[in-house]
């Protein structure tokens, strides 16, 4: 099932831009591929690099790119593509339809962000008292909440009704705010009721939304993303500041906000495997770059890989050491520092 996901779509999940077929430069960081030697065979949904000798299918691409074993690669791809993971098995039920998983157009033709729609959704979701209390418990101050414009979906139905009346079902569906199972007759938002909403702003416009549940969720998923839209980097506009000196690269929204609480300008990668665009990497040249990814096995491995990627473009970075045996990520460290945990 997982190996039926098109190689190009798997590349998108890894933050890579790969063609549907034909040759391109090898994406693996340990292979300096000056001449395109990485071929994608669309008919067989396989790939091979004639330079470094590696080859395989969708799962193998994840395995080789993230430097993890086959079982870990299966789990990663299952979760990232919306499949439910149970032990060592991939369940049939999926957050994405089978047709969506077999169609690279899900990722290829997503179109530009619907700025107007995201702005309206954001306006309909003011932060509530319990949302502010949750953020305070995580060590995030009201000042930071205001700077980042954090909001909250208090009730699904009133917001959904207003959005449908103003924009229509098809536009909402295309924007990614509806579940994959939604129809014109019955639709639901991808974000759970009472969830905290984090706007991703680029050049002054909301380009993406991510949510974090503050209560119990039936499927166990605390974090929720737009449906069928590529992940963005949180607070990427920080790199455009003329007075930027110190910048932290974090894993996820909460760690980015935590880095800000510690006095850093910070950006957040959505997932340990997320990639940075070359133009964004070049903006880091000459800055004091601190890598604050999680202090676990995957975070440490990705930090080493990221340092290599940055170095290729002349960016020197420092991997911040594990601050406390009681914290595996920056937000846990912040809470411990402030006596909240």
pLDDT digits (tens, 9 = 90+) for 7-38: 988 888 887 888 888 999 898 877 888 788 99
**Where in the chain are the domains?**
2-108, 115-225, 236-337
Instruction: Report which of 53, 74, 48, 45 is spatially closest to residue 62, judged by C-alpha positions.
Output: 74
CATH of 236-337, picked from 3.40.1360.10, 3.40.50.720, 3.30.70.270, 3.30.420.40, is 3.40.1360.10
- pLDDT of 157 > 70? The answer is yes
Mean pLDDT across the chain: 87
Q: Which pTM was predicted? A: 0.69
CATH number of 2-108: 3.90.580
Using CA atoms, how far apart are residues 232 and 230, in angstroms rounded to an integer? 6
> Helices 253-261 and 330-337 meet at what angle, rounded to 10?
40
CATH of domain 115-225: 3.90.980.10
SS3 197: strand
Per-residue pLDDT of 62-115, as tens digits, reads 988 888 888 888 888 887 777 655 555 655 443 333 333 333 334 445 678 999
Question: Which pLDDT tens digit goes with each residue over 284-306?
Answer: 999 999 999 998 888 888 888 88
The DSSP bridge partners found for residue 196 are 152, 212
In angstroms, how far is CA 138 from the centroid of its own chain? 20
Of the candidates 200, 287, 194, the one whose C-alpha atom is nearest the C-alpha of residue 246 is: 287
Three-state DSSP class for 206?
strand
Q: How far is CA 192 from the centre of its chain?
A: 18
């Amino acid at each position: 099932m997982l190996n039926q996901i098109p190689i190009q779509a798997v590349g998108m999940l890894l933050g890579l831009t790969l063609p549907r077929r034909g040759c391109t430069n090898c994406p693996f960081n340990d292979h300096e591929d000056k001449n395109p030697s990485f071929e994608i065979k669309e008919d067989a949904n396989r790939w091979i690099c004639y330079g470094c000798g590696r080859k395989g299918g969708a799962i193998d691409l994840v395995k080789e790119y993230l430097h993890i074993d086959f079982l870990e690669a299966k789990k990663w791809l299952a979760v990232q593509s919306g499949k439910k993971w149970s032990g060592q098995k991939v369940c049939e039920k999926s957050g994405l339809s089978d047709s969506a998983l077999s169609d690279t157009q899900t990722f290829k033709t997503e179109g530009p962000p619907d700025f107007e729609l995201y702005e309206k959704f954001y306006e309909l979701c003011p932060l509530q008292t319990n949302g502010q209390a949750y953020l305070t418990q995580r060590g995030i101050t009201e000042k930071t909440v205001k700077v980042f414009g954090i909001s909250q979906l208090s009730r699904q139905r009133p917001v959904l009704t207003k959005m449908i009346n103003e924009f229509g079902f098809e536009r909402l569906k295309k924007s990614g705010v509806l579940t994959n199972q939604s129809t014109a007759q019955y639709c639901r938002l991808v974000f759970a009721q009472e969830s905290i909403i984090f706007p991703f702003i680029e050049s002054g416009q909301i380009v993406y939304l991510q949510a974090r549940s503050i209560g119990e969720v039936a499927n166990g998923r605390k974090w929720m993303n737009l449906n069928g839209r590529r992940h963005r980097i949180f607070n990427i506009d920080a790199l455009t500041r003329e007075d930027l000196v110190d910048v932290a690269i974090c894993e996820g929204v909460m760690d980015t906000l935590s880095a800000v609480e510690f006095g850093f300008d910070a950006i957040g990668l959505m997932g340990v495997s997320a990639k940075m665009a070359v133009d964004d990497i070049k903006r880091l040249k000459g800055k004091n770059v601190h890598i604050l990814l999680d202090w676990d096995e995957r975070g440490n491995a990705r930090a080493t890989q990221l340092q290599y990627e940055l170095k290729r473009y002349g960016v020197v970075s420092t991997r911040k050491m594990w601050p406390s045996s009681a914290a595996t990520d920056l937000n846990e460290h912040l809470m411990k520092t402030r006596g909240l945990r």
